Amino acid sequence: MNCFKKFGYRVFQKTMWCAMWFLPWNQNKATLSGAGKIKELPKFLKEKGFKSILIVTDGGLYKLGMADPILAACEAEGMKGVVYHDVVPNPTIGNIEDGLKMYYDNGCDVIVALGGGSAMDCAKGIGARVARPKKTIPQMKGVLKVAHKLPPLVAIPTTSGTGSEATLAAVISNPETHEKYPINDPVLIPRYVVMDPELTKSLPKHITSTTGMDALTHAVEAYIGGENTSQTKKDAIDAIKLINENLKKAYEHGEDLEARNNMQKAAYLAGKAFTRAYVGYVHAVAHTLGGEYGVPHGLANAVILPHVLKAYGSSAYKKLAKLARVIGLTGENDEALAKAFIAWIENLNEEMAIPTRILSREGEPIIQEERLPIMIEHALKEANPLYPCPQVWGKEEIEKIYREIM
């Protein structure tokens, strides 16, 4: 990539960083954290004057009875609670419109997202339609197209990784056009967050590990990027500390509620960091693997992260060295510390049975040679010029990462 294009990207990123200071980031008003807090939510909302709750979740969680404690507590408080439970893994415009109808039909005045990123994306979409009833979802895709106050949105994550409970984005699918696009607006940041470790203690080990590494990737990419603030740095560092101290505990002892709760906090802090400071090439490559081959996002991030950090070389040493010191690693200089931090990530992956390559369940390569040019193009289109990475990459650098993980 020629130097003039790189310079243009950096100018764009600096302009975005300046513009960020004028956006309304302080949407989150309170968090409820601890075992059993989900049962306290209706009382909390009732005290704030709300009367009718729409719970947005997926069929699997609904069948497991995840929404039952909220419904029971609603009944005890004399509140109305209804559940929209048809959210699909990539929530559609149809999901949002069906949920919107249930919201209006039941006179709801607050929306509760219960689940992972898909439930939260759907709930955010419903909230956006309530806020802008004359606008369709396609008309709100892009940046700052909602720009109206949403009804109160409560996020209850059931994994510890996506950070959707802290972000300004909702990703929506349109089955008719086969599009998948984001709506980005600070008004989509949930007003309240409930972190109840009881909801995550039964997660399978491979979900615990990969969602935890997803949170780590959010924190690391946010920290080493060029659009940080003092708050995003603090949030990223605090998240990495919590992950270092608790991910292995949660992985090995799923019933450890303290470790589970700390991982929820880590995912939330990492989400706060990256929603303002952005991510990087790890995510750009991971998203193409999800789109092309259905590779779970957390798994893709975990595999790709050390490869990208190594490829950044000296451009990332100083910041990675700071992160190494944060978790107690030692080294004679920044280069040694940075390499120790990358080795720590690789060891975490190995100890939690996360592979070093992207392979099929049978252990065979899944990335097809003929699809590489398209995947490289998509990754670059996502990352450039938006992501403020330590280096600006072109096709050669991205292709190198794909070939390493093949």
pLDDT in tens, 217-275: 999 999 999 999 999 999 999 999 999 999 999 999 999 999 999 999 999 999 999 99
pLDDT tens-digit profile of 103-123? 999 999 999 999 998 999 999
pLDDT recorded at residue 27: 82
Q: Which is nearest to 14 in space by CA: 270, 316, 226?
A: 226
Contact 256, 249 (CB under 8 A): yes
CATH of domain 23-199: 3.40.50.1970
pLDDT recorded at residue 364: 84
pLDDT recorded at residue 173: 84
Q: Which is nearest to 34 in space by CA: 257, 249, 215?
A: 257
The answer on pLDDT for 179 being more than 80 is no
The answer on pLDDT for 182 being more than 90 is no
Rounded Cα distance, 27 and 37, in Å:
21
Tell the residue number behind the tokens 């990492």, with chain if given: 270
SS3 of residue 126 by DSSP: helix
Q: How many CB atoms lie within 10 A of CB 332?
A: 7
Instruction: Please report, for the chain, how many H helices and E strands are present, in that order.
Output: 16, 9
Rounded Cα distance, 344 and 327, in Å:
10
Compute the mean pLDDT over every residue in the chain, rounded to the nearest whole number. 94
pLDDT recorded at residue 180: 74
**164: confidence class by pLDDT, cuts 50, 70, 90:** very high
Task: For CA atoms 273, 398, 211, 385, give the dihedral sign.
Answer: positive
pLDDT tens-digit profile of 186-211? 999 999 999 999 999 999 999 999 99
pLDDT tens-digit profile of 30-81? 899 999 999 999 999 999 999 999 999 999 999 999 999 999 999 999 999 9
> Per CATH, the architecture of 204-405 is what?
Up-down Bundle (1.20)
Q: Which is nearest to 191 in space by CA: 115, 112, 285, 265?
A: 112
Q: How many CB atoms lie within 10 A of CB 194?
A: 27
* φ, ψ for residue 382, nearest 5 deg: -70, -45
Rounded Cα distance, 181 and 130, in Å:
19
Residue spans per domain, the chain: 23-199, 204-405
pLDDT recorded at residue 84: 98
pLDDT tens-digit profile of 289-336? 988 888 889 999 999 999 999 999 999 999 999 999 999 999 999 999
Rounded Cα distance, 201 and 263, in Å:
11
Residues 6+ apart with CB under 8 A from 366: 293, 295, 358, 359, 360
The two three-digit tokens of residue 338, written as one number? 């940075």
pLDDT recorded at residue 214: 96
Tell the residue number behind the tokens 């944060």, with chain if given: 326
Rounded Cα distance, 345 and 215, in Å:
12
The secondary element (H helix, E strand) that includes residue 173 is strand 169-174
Contact 68, 74 (CB under 8 A): no
Contact 270, 215 (CB under 8 A): yes
The two three-digit tokens of residue 394, written as one number? 């072109």
